[in-house]
Amino acid sequence: MVFEKTIGQVVDENYVYARALHYLGIDFFEAPDRKLREICDERGLDRKQVIKSFYEFDSCHRFSFSDLERYPIELLTEYLKYSHHIFIKEKLPYIVHLVKKWDREEGLKNLLPEFVEDFIKHIYEEEDTTFKYIELLSEWKKGSVYASYDLLIRFNNYSLEAEFEEHQDEDEFGAIRALMSSLEPQDLHDRVLMHEIKAFDREMIYHAEIENRIFFPKAIQLEKEVHHKVKTLSTLN
């Protein structure tokens, strides 16, 4: 039974459980040799709650590309915003926490804060420009006068094609990926950290694929439809 195993054994069997325990207030590296049952009893944690947390963190919440391709652009944008929220509020803070408690590689402690700062800045810029632009295009298509005004004033020189081209060349995580690939794990902390970084890297790649293969093509198509409608209305006037 899982509760009769040590924290270290539980985490070694599935590294995702380390993050689940962290959000329950238990850091695996503080008491790896103590049984999960003992820690739960001390902290007053309900065992059903712990099992539920393990299940939720171990479950995959991805949508397939075929599912996402059927989403309208407005819903797809909300899905991407939600992914941004998970990156910033859950996954990155946990990786930062693991690195702060890590005493092996100083290079990562220098690279990670710089990446986090640039990544968060990129996300906010994307939501304030690209996502906002798509929102206004959708509203204008539905007949909003205010959206038309904002498009003319705020996004007069904005290029969705240029944004798409630039987006395809980005690899913000490259330096960290290269550094971690050169290290050999020596203990449980190493293995958990490497697992989390690799998992985050995979999620970043998947997220970028959604944007490049589905979001931007849909967005560019919407832009063309709006421009065609504007041209048609101009001709009629």
Given this model, what pLDDT does residue 29 score?
A: 94
In percent, how much of the chain has pLDDT > 90?
62
Residue owning tokens 């402690």 = 109
DSSP letter (8 states) at residue 79: H
In percent, how much of the chain has pLDDT > 70?
94
Q: What is the chain's mean pLDDT, rounded?
A: 88
CA 107 – CA 100 distance, rounded (Å): 12
Mean pLDDT, to the nearest integer, of 209-217? 94
Q: pTM, whole model, 2 decimals?
A: 0.85
Given this model, what pLDDT does residue 144 score?
A: 73
**pLDDT at residue 226 tops 90:** no
